[in-house]
Chains A and B, each alone.
Chain A
Amino acid sequence: GQQVMQIPQYQHVQEGEDFTTYCNSSTTLSNIQWYKQRPGGHPVFLIQLVKSGEVKKQKRLTFQFGEAKKNSSLHITATQTTDVGTYFCAGPGLLFGNEKLTFGTGTRLTIIP
């Protein structure tokens, strides 16, 4: 079945440092989504990437979708304490249709003030 892996599993950074999480799928994705889950909270949609090689920015967050549409990355510049949480990528496989998402294992970000 489709697998979506994320690395690293955990990341501890000093406030102000940059952070990157990587997402790799075993199958080609029609699109990829990113979600953020605050501690004790629920996943909240951040962004969706659709095109091969697409890059989108949201303030300090930069999202990339690989040329082969099998990998993606999220980069946060100058982290702040509000960035704490677990970041998940998720993608529907070409075989399963858009109604089912496979979530990555997540990267848990903690910030050292």
Chain B
Amino acid sequence: NAGVTQTPKFRVLKTGQSMTLLCAQDMNHEYMYWYRQDPGMGLRLIHYSVGEGTTAKGEVPDGYNVSRLKKQNFLLGLESAAPSQTSVYFCASISASAKNIQYFGAGTRLSVL
């Protein structure tokens, strides 16, 4: 049981490049989330999904897109990366029946030059 797995772990992009971050969970959780973490700012919600085929905007959605084609996967896309998107990205998931406890992946460290 791997829990929540994020790939890649590290990535360096040039401004304007695109990339997709993958989050996979094997716990059959209904809800999945993408956060970004910047120094001194805690965790900020980018997008989230309450089920397969559904997504919703969080606190800081601009510049990102997401898709949840399969229940176990939640993809975060950057169409045209900007230096302001340099951050650590965390994926999390919860079970609707488990008191909303969030299980986090190990994170993806992204640098945009």
Residues of A within 8 A of B (CB): 1, 6, 9, 31, 33, 35, 41-45, 48, 88, 90, 92, 98-106
Contacts and interface: CB of A to CB of B under 8 A. Distances in A.
Contacts of B99: 31, 48
A44 B104 contact: yes
11 contacts: A31-B99, A35-B102, A42-B106, A43-B92, A44-B104, A45-B102, A48-B100, A90-B43, A92-B100, A99-B100, A105-B41
Nearest to A5: B42
B58 A48 contact: no
Contacts of B31: 99
Contact of B40 (A41, A90, A105): A105
B100 A88 contact: no
Main secondary structure on A side of the interface with B: loop
Interface string B83-103: 000000010101010011111
Given A90-B43, A99-B50, A103-B44, 20 more contacts: A1-B59, A6-B42, A31-B99, A42-B107, A43-B90, A43-B92, A43-B102, A44-B104, A45-B101, A45-B102, A48-B99, A48-B101, A88-B43, A99-B94, A99-B100, A101-B45, A101-B102, A102-B45, A103-B35, A105-B42
B34 interface: no
B101 A43 contact: no
B48 interface: yes
